[in-house]
Chains A and B, each alone.
Chain A
């Protein structure tokens, strides 16, 4: 096998991966946007890269049992002074077993005062929900909790 052939094959593959990544960034408004069927670990990896999220400090409040998977209330909060020096940049919510795991990305500024959001999500079936916080210093915090769902709510 000639070294020259090896090199060009590696180059082409790197180029394809690079072009794909650039295209993905251009087309999507959020790192969580995805094609159906993509798994949640990839979505998580795209946000944190090589960083290791620290467990805890993210309070994800959800019912233990959701009667209706179409509308499951949640509140997610991170204790933070929310000053220019130290604030939560974003909170990402991931439903690990939904057909499309990304639920939402919430972005804050020091002006937010509190890194806390409430909304309602769809859960296709019983599963773990992940809350991932991105801090202004580049660190990540993560929490994960199971939710039982009696009637699934993604329509599939």
Chain B
């Protein structure tokens, strides 16, 4: 997994419902493909995603092999006040990527 890309609005007011867009690189190997010699290529995917804001989880996703490579996830949040997002992706090998980003609340 490489550094994720996050898209937040430039600023938001308390009570606004904002959209958060995330993108991360990952092969999301389904486990259905085979090598040239017929050996199966094992499954290897990001299987979970979590978004916390000001320490509270607001959204999470369990992903299966049916999600495309380089998972794109866009979801929403009603702004409760100022704070920081913490996004976590975890893959089948147990590796976690955590990315934080402050939301500019005016």
Contact = CB atoms under 8 A, between A and B. Distances in A.
Residue with the greatest number of chain A CB neighbours at <10 A, chosen from B17, B64, B71? B64
Contact of B76 (A103, A113, A156): A113
B4 interface: no
Does more than half of chain B's interface fall in helix, strand or loop, or is it mixed?
Answer: strand
B71 A119 contact: yes
Interface in A85-123: 93, 95, 98-109, 111-114, 116-122
A119 B64 CA distance: 12
A113 B9 CA distance: 15
Interface string A61-96: 000000000111000000000100000000001010
A155 interface: yes
Interface stretch (A13-21, A28-36, A44-52, A134-142): A28-36
Contact of B66 (A95, A107, A109, A156): A95
A28 to B, nearest CB: 9
Contact of B65 (A109, A114, A119, A154): A154
A113 B62 CA distance: 20
A143 to B, nearest CB: 17
Nearest to B15: A113
Nearest to A123: B66
B48 interface: yes
Interface residues of B, number: 33
Contact of B77 (A104, A106, A112): A112
B76 A112 contact: yes
A121 B62 CA distance: 13
Interface string B45-77: 001100001001111111111111101111111
A82 to B, nearest CB: 7
Nearest to B71: A119
B75 A120 contact: no
